[in-house]
């Protein structure tokens, strides 16, 4: 029997902590001296550990990030910003588009949507463009991360939800003329960003426009190594709002995002072009005397055009041993998502009721072209092949949902129910059969899914609240899991083959939440356990049945349901005000996940030498124990707030044997941020990320293609963000 142990915070030393504190104190002293003469009277907003007490907070495990926090970040990518949240991490494949992982759940296990349920289907089978990469941080009003299958009103919510709010709210009708400019420079990678937005509102209408550019060069890690991670992005947005009578309004919105030459050193190709267009409309009508009586109607269409190739790689133009030919690959994918949602809510006695229906139609099509140029016997020969990645793949999901919230004295409860009908089909002509067994054959599939969630909160005392969440949620296989054909989409470099016959994955989850507020502090503790039946993951296919088509892929895995995976862990945060204007925040999170039974392929000389069953094998790509400490102080005159953030991540030794996953060392990084408000129209955030220039990588970072070397995180970087608003 082999027992995996967890070594906590390997690498954290007292000396490191002392160095961080000394650096912090020195910076703090210098800046207070310099800026002491200036003063303004604006309310400061701390980026993290805000004291919040909303009914949603008590009932659900949720993190909220507001636009004010996003503006202060060095990172130009929402996925990277999200990694700072408790028990949220991300998969890094390059310098942009980090793919979020919440409590170890990823990809379609997380429902990511905009506003009233706008979904975006990424075009890239390698996940170069996860959902959040289609939205720029400057377009976001707030982000809500619900850790669990509790948010059932916006589509199936498998294991977590990320709700991105981009649409102006009703207050946009009363704001007159507004102009905002946000600029940022990241010295560590020569990154420049600029975003401008304009809003003009009259009494019954408003119009807003926004647009921005981002040009980022390669970053350098703490060892001084430069990683091919540059990217270029442009975005544009427009909203038009109209009041319809005394108690209704309509908002029409457009969001566009255009990426060029986004490099991914961990993937076999880079994104050379990515165009995203999102059109949406939202109508709301409410009772003038009772705004809780509300009716909403929304519709959207999002379209993604994605081109990737290996033209930035040496093998595109010359022979790179051990290959004896020039290898060129291009893939083009088009994806669209269209849908609508209707809901109405009303109070009924002690109950708040919400009912509705939503639908989502996802379509995807894509082709990969491979070209090999070889010289044999003095002659040059070119061989080409095109294969479908998807062919007219279509998934239609329609759901009915209802939820109710009940509140009485010390108790608050909510119940949500959702029923989905999921239809999937594809125009694939590929059939994979071997000796009577059909491995891949596309046929229309209809599935009915049932989800239910309940939350109960009880205020034990004035200071203490306890909450319990129980949920059962289902999700159907996504486009990748059902219809992808031979592309390395996972972390293990195997080519993946879809499985049209996948059963829905079912998550049974329980959360126990405790809130304790003794005076000037707040302690939140959340423990959770989740058992997932029919967990969708890759299972190795014999080479006799299918061979990989991606360079470097050792074989083919097909998505299959396996029973079962268990995820458990905790999140805790402590926010404490030790003295006036100061704040200390401490947070920690851990997820422990394993398959109850997994088959491991034993390979010798890259050949099958046997199989073995591993019980309680860790699920791959689970983030390690993570903790952070934040110290901040608000100066009133001048109006500035320095903040020191120390983040420590433990080594990840709890790794999957069946996936041949490698262990990762722990690390400690320190960031320094100073927010300064010289004028009510000007705000400035400057800082040094990775102050000690630590060379490190996260457990979820992918490996550099063709090697076992993990992608390192950026080294020390000075940055500055300035915002002007009129």
Total residues interacting with another protein, rule: CB under 8 A: 60
From the list 98-106, 228-236, 323-331, 414-422, the region that binds another protein by CB under 8 A is 323-331
Is 662 among the residues that bind another protein (CB under 8 A)? no
Binder of another protein out of 95, 100, 130, 325 (CB under 8 A)? 325
Is 324 among the residues that bind another protein (CB under 8 A)? yes
Instruction: Find where tokens 């994918």 sit.
Output: 333
Q: Is the CB of residue 65 less than 8 Å from the CB of residue 552?
A: no
Residues counted in the chain: 726
Q: Toward another protein, which CB reaches closer, 466 or 720?
A: 466
Report, in Å, the least distance between residue 485 CB and another protein. 13
**Closest Cα partner for 94 from 119, 117, 70, 77?**
77
Binder of another protein out of 107, 594, 697, 719 (CB under 8 A)? 594
- The CA-CA-CA angle for residues 57, 59, 61, to 5°, reads 65
DSSP secondary structure letter of residue 619: P
C-alpha gyration radius of the chain: 26
Instruction: Find where tokens 């550990």 sit.
Output: 49
Binder of another protein out of 1, 14, 43, 289 (CB under 8 A)? 1
Q: Toward another protein, which CB reaches closer, 396 or 456?
A: 456
Report, in Å, the least distance between residue 613 CB and another protein. 4
Is 409 among the residues that bind another protein (CB under 8 A)? no
Is 431 among the residues that bind another protein (CB under 8 A)? no
Q: 614 burial class (0-12, 13-18, 19+ CB within 10 angstroms)? A: middle
Binder of another protein out of 33, 171, 348, 544 (CB under 8 A)? 544
Binder of another protein out of 370, 487, 639, 668 (CB under 8 A)? 370
Is 617 among the residues that bind another protein (CB under 8 A)? yes
Q: How far from 47 is each of 70, 141, 159, CA to CA, in Å?
A: 8, 14, 26
Binder of another protein out of 276, 537, 550, 561 (CB under 8 A)? 550
> Where are any strands of DSSP class E within 317-350?
325-348
From the list 45-53, 226-234, 321-329, 342-350, the region that binds another protein by CB under 8 A is 321-329
Binder of another protein out of 2, 224, 318, 348 (CB under 8 A)? 2
Report, in Å, the least distance between residue 512 CB and another protein. 5
Q: Toward another protein, which CB reaches closer, 72 or 591?
A: 591
**Residue 301, φ and ψ in degrees, nearest 5:** -145, 120
Report, in Å, the least distance between residue 381 CB and another protein. 3
Is 650 among the residues that bind another protein (CB under 8 A)? no
At 172, is the secondary structure helix, strand, or coil?
helix
Binder of another protein out of 34, 53, 292, 384 (CB under 8 A)? 384
Q: 12 burial class (0-12, 13-18, 19+ CB within 10 angstroms)? A: middle
Q: Toward another protein, which CB reaches closer, 382 or 681?
A: 382
Is 527 among the residues that bind another protein (CB under 8 A)? yes
Distance in angstroms (rounded) separating the CA atoms of residues 414 and 497:
40
Binder of another protein out of 417, 456, 539, 695 (CB under 8 A)? 456
Is 25 among the residues that bind another protein (CB under 8 A)? no
Q: Which two tokens stand for residue 19?
A: 């160095």
Report, in Å, the least distance between residue 648 CB and another protein. 21
Q: Is the peptide bond before 6 cis (omega within 30 degrees of 0)?
A: no
Q: How far from 122 is each of 48, 335, 417, 494, 709, CA to CA, in Å?
A: 29, 7, 28, 20, 27
Is 604 among the residues that bind another protein (CB under 8 A)? yes
Q: Which two tokens stand for residue 38?
A: 């200036």
Report, in Å, the least distance between residue 373 CB and another protein. 10
Distance in angstroms (rounded) separating the CA atoms of residues 574 and 591:
19
Q: Toward another protein, which CB reaches closer, 299 or 373?
A: 373
Is 610 among the residues that bind another protein (CB under 8 A)? yes
> What strands, in cross-sheet order, belong to the sheet with 142-146?
62-66, 142-146, 160-165, 110-114
Is 430 among the residues that bind another protein (CB under 8 A)? no
Is 14 among the residues that bind another protein (CB under 8 A)? no
Is 608 among the residues that bind another protein (CB under 8 A)? yes
Is 468 among the residues that bind another protein (CB under 8 A)? yes
From the list 61-69, 319-327, 394-402, 708-716, the region that binds another protein by CB under 8 A is 319-327
Binder of another protein out of 543, 662, 707, 725 (CB under 8 A)? 543
Is 660 among the residues that bind another protein (CB under 8 A)? no
Subset of residues 483 to 512 that bind another protein, contact rule: CB under 8 A? 510, 512
Binder of another protein out of 443, 542, 637, 663 (CB under 8 A)? 542
Binder of another protein out of 615, 636, 679, 680 (CB under 8 A)? 615
Q: Is the CB of residue 496 less than 8 Å from the CB of residue 556?
A: yes
At 631, is the secondary structure helix, strand, or coil?
strand
Q: Please give the torsion angle defined by the CA atoms of residues 314, 316, 322 and 323, in that order, rounded to the nearest 10 degrees.
A: -170
Is 612 among the residues that bind another protein (CB under 8 A)? yes
From the list 48-56, 75-83, 378-386, 420-428, the region that binds another protein by CB under 8 A is 378-386
Report, in Å, the least distance between residue 493 CB and another protein. 10
Report, in Å, the least distance between residue 432 CB and another protein. 13
Report, in Å, the least distance between residue 431 CB and another protein. 14
Is 310 among the residues that bind another protein (CB under 8 A)? no
Binder of another protein out of 54, 290, 616, 681 (CB under 8 A)? 616
> Where are any strands of DSSP class E within 377-430?
379-408, 411-425
The secondary structure element, H or E, covering residue 82 is: helix 78-82
**Closest Cα partner for 363 from 336, 340, 333, 397?**
336
Is 614 among the residues that bind another protein (CB under 8 A)? yes
Is 171 among the residues that bind another protein (CB under 8 A)? no
Q: How far apart are the first and last CA of the chain?
A: 66
Alpha helices in 531-594 (DSSP H): none
**Residue 35, φ and ψ in degrees, nearest 5:** -105, 10
Q: Which two tokens stand for residue 12?
A: 């954290």
Q: Is the CB of residue 484 less than 8 Å from the CB of residue 389?
A: yes
Is 539 among the residues that bind another protein (CB under 8 A)? no
Q: Which two tokens stand for residue 463?
A: 């200071």
Distance in angstroms (rounded) separating the CA atoms of residues 331 and 310:
10
Per-position DSSP letters for 456-475, written without gaps between them: EEEE-SSSEEEEEEEEEEEE
Binder of another protein out of 553, 629, 639, 685 (CB under 8 A)? 553
Is 122 among the residues that bind another protein (CB under 8 A)? no
Give buried/exposed letters for 491-518 (b at 16+ CB in 10 A, else e): bbbbbbbbbbbbbbbbbbbebbbebbbe
Distance in angstroms (rounded) separating the CA atoms of residues 177 and 289:
29
Q: Toward another protein, which CB reaches closer, 41 or 604?
A: 604
From the list 47-55, 376-384, 389-397, 473-481, the region that binds another protein by CB under 8 A is 376-384
Q: Toward another protein, which CB reaches closer, 441 or 615?
A: 615
Report, in Å, the least distance between residue 1 CB and another protein. 4
Is 29 among the residues that bind another protein (CB under 8 A)? no
At 579, is the secondary structure helix, strand, or coil?
coil
Q: Which residues form the interface with another protein (CB under 8 A)?
A: 1-4, 322-325, 370, 372, 374, 376-378, 381-385, 456, 458, 466, 468, 470, 510, 512, 527, 529, 542-544, 547-554, 566, 568, 592, 594, 600, 604-618, 657
């Amino acid at each position: 029997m082999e027992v995996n142990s967890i070594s906590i915070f390997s690498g954290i030393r007292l000396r490191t902590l002392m160095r961080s504190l000394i650096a912090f104190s020195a910076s703090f002293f210098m800046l207070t001296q310099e800026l002491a003469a200036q003063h303004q009277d604006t309310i400061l907003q701390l980026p993290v550990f805000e004291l919040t007490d909303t009914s949603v907070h008590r009932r659900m495990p949720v993190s909220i990030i507001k636009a004010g926090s996003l503006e202060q970040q060095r990172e130009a990518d929402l996925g990277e910003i999200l990694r700072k949240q408790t028990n949220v991490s991300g998969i890094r494949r390059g310098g942009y588009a980090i793919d979020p992982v919440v409590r170890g759940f990823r990809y379609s296990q997380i429902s990511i949507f905009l506003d009233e349920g706008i979904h975006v289907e990424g075009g890239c089978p390698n996940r170069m463009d996860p959902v959040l990469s289609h939205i720029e941080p400057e377009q976001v009003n707030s982000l809500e991360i619900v850790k669990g299958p509790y948010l059932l009103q916006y589509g199936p919510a498998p294991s977590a939800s990320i709700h991105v709010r981009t649409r102006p709210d009703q207050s946009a009708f009363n704001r007159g003329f507004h102009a905002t400019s946000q600029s940022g420079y990241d010295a560590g990678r020569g990154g420049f960003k600029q975003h401008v937005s304009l809003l003009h509102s009259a009494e019954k209408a408003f119009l807003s426009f926004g647009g921005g550019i981002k040009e980022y060069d390669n970053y350098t890690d703490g060892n001084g190594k430069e990683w091919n991670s540059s990217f270029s992005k442009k975005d544009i947005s427009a909203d038009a709002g109209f009041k319809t009578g005394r108690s209704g309004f309509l908002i029409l919105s457009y969001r566009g995002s255009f990426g060029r030459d986004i490099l991914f050193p961990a993937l076999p190709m880079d994104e050379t072009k990515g165009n995203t267009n999102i059109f949406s409309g939202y109508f709301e009508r409410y009772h003038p005397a009772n705004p809780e009586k509300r009716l909403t109607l929304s519709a959207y269409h999002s379209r993604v055009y994605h081109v990737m190739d290996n033209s930035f790689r040496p093998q595109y133009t010359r022979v790179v041993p051990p290959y004896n030919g020039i290898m060129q690959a291009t893939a083009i994918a088009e994806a669209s998502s269209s849908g609508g949602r209707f809901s109405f809510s009303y109070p009924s006695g002690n109950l708040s009721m919400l009912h509705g229906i939503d639908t989502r139609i996802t379509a995807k099509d894509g082709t990969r072209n491979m070209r090999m140029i070889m010289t044999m016997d003095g002659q040059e020969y070119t061989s080409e092949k095109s294969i479908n990645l998807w062919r007219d793949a279509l998934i239609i999901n329609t759901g009915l949902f209802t939820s109710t919230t009940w509140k009485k004295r010390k108790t608050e409860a909510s119940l949500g129910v959702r029923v989905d009908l999921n239809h999937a089909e594809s125009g694939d002509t590929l059939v994979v059969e071997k000796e009577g067994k059909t491995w891949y054959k596309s046929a229309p599939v209809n599935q009915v899914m049932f989800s239910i969630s309940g939350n109960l909160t009880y205020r034990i005392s004035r200071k203490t609240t306890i909450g319990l969440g129980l949920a059962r949620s289902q999700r159907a296989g996504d486009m990748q899991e059902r219809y992808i054909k031979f592309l390395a989409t996972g972390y293990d470099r195997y080519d993946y083959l879809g499985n049209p016959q996948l059963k829905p994955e079912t998550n049974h989850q329980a959360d126990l939440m405790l809130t304790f507020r003794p005076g000037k502090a707040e302690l939140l503790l959340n423990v959770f356990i989740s058992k997932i039946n029919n967990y969708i993951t890759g299972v190795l296919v014999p080479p006799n049945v299918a061979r990989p088509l991606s360079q470097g892929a050792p074989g083919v895995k097909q998505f299959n349901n396996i029973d079962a995976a268990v995820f458990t862990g905790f999140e805790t945060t402590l926010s404490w005000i030790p003295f006036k204007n100061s704040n200390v925040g401490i947070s920690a999170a851990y997820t422990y996940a394993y398959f109850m039974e997994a088959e491991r392929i034993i390979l010798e000389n890259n050949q099958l030498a046997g199989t073995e069953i591993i019980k309680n094998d860790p699920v791959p790509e689970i983030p390690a124990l993570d903790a952070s400490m934040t110290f901040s102080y608000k100066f009133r005159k001048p109006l500035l707030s320095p903040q020191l953030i120390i983040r420590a991540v433990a080594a990840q030794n709890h790794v999957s044997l069946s996936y041949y996953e490698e262990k990762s060392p722990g690390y400690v990084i320190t960031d320094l941020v100073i927010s300064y408000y010289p004028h009510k129209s000007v705000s400035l955030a400057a800082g040094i990320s990775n102050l000690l220039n630590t060379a490190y990588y996260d457990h979820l970072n992918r490996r550099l293609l063709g090697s076992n070397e993990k992608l390192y995180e950026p080294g020390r970087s000075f940055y500055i963000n300035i915002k002007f608003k009129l």
